[in-house]
Amino acid sequence: MRARRVLKTTGIVVALAVLLFVFGWVPYFLGGVATTRRIVYNDRENAGLTPATFALPFEDVSFQAADGVTLKGWWVPAPQPRGTVILVHGLNRSRIEMVKKVPFLHARGWNALLFDLRHHGQSGGGVSSFGYFEKEDVHAATALARARSAGPVVLWGVSLGGASATLAAAEDPSVGGVVCDSSYRSLRDTVAHHITLARSWRWWMRVVPSWPVGAEVLYWIGRRGGFDPDAVDVRGAAARLAGRPCLFVCNSGDRRMPAEIAFELKAAAGERARVLVVPGQSHGGAYRDATAAYESAVAQVLDEVGTGSFRMAASH
Q: Are 167 and 178 in contact (CB under 8 A)?
A: no
pLDDT at 161 over 80: yes
Nearest-angstrom CA–CA distance, 161 and 141: 13
pLDDT for 314 = 39
The mean pLDDT value for 27-40 works out to: 87
Closest CA to 164 of 138, 188, 127: 138
Q: Are 249 and 294 in contact (CB under 8 A)?
A: yes
Nearest-angstrom CA–CA distance, 236 and 186: 9
- What string of DSSP letters covers 238-261? HTT-TTS-EEEEEETT-SSS-THH
31 vs 169, more confident:
169
pLDDT at 72 over 70: yes
Sheet of 110-115, strand order? 59-64, 70-76, 110-115, 83-88, 153-158, 177-181, 246-251, 273-278
pLDDT for 257 = 97
pLDDT for 203 = 66
pLDDT for 315 = 37
Closest CA to 134 of 146, 120, 148: 120
171 — pLDDT class (breaks 50, 70, 90): very high
Q: How far is CA 32 from the centre of its chain?
A: 18
pLDDT for 6 = 63
Name 85's bridge partners: 112, 154
Three-class secondary structure of residue 113 per DSSP: strand
CA quadruple 72, 78, 80, 86: dihedral sign: negative
Of the listed ranges 5-19, 191-205, 219-233, the one predicted with least confidence: 5-19
13 — pLDDT class (breaks 50, 70, 90): low
Three-class secondary structure of residue 28 per DSSP: helix
Nearest-angstrom CA–CA distance, 282 and 280: 6
The C-alpha angle with vertex 305 and arms to 173 and 249, in degrees rounded to 5, equals: 85
Segment 228-268, tens digit of pLDDT:
999 999 999 999 998 899 999 999 999 999 999 999 999 99
- What does the chain come to in residues? 316
pLDDT for 204 = 62
Give the H or E element holding residue 146: helix 134-148
In sequence order, which residues have a C-beta less than 8 Å from that of residue 307 and are 6 or more positions away? none
- What does the mean pLDDT of the chain come to? 91
Give the H or E element holding residue 132: none
pLDDT for 41 = 87
pLDDT at 125 over 60: yes
Cα–Cα distances in angstroms (integers) from residue 165 to residues 16, 48, 132, 140, 312, in the given order: 44, 25, 11, 12, 23
pLDDT for 124 = 98
Q: How far is CA 182 from the centre of its chain?
A: 8
Q: How far is CA 286 from the centre of its chain?
A: 14
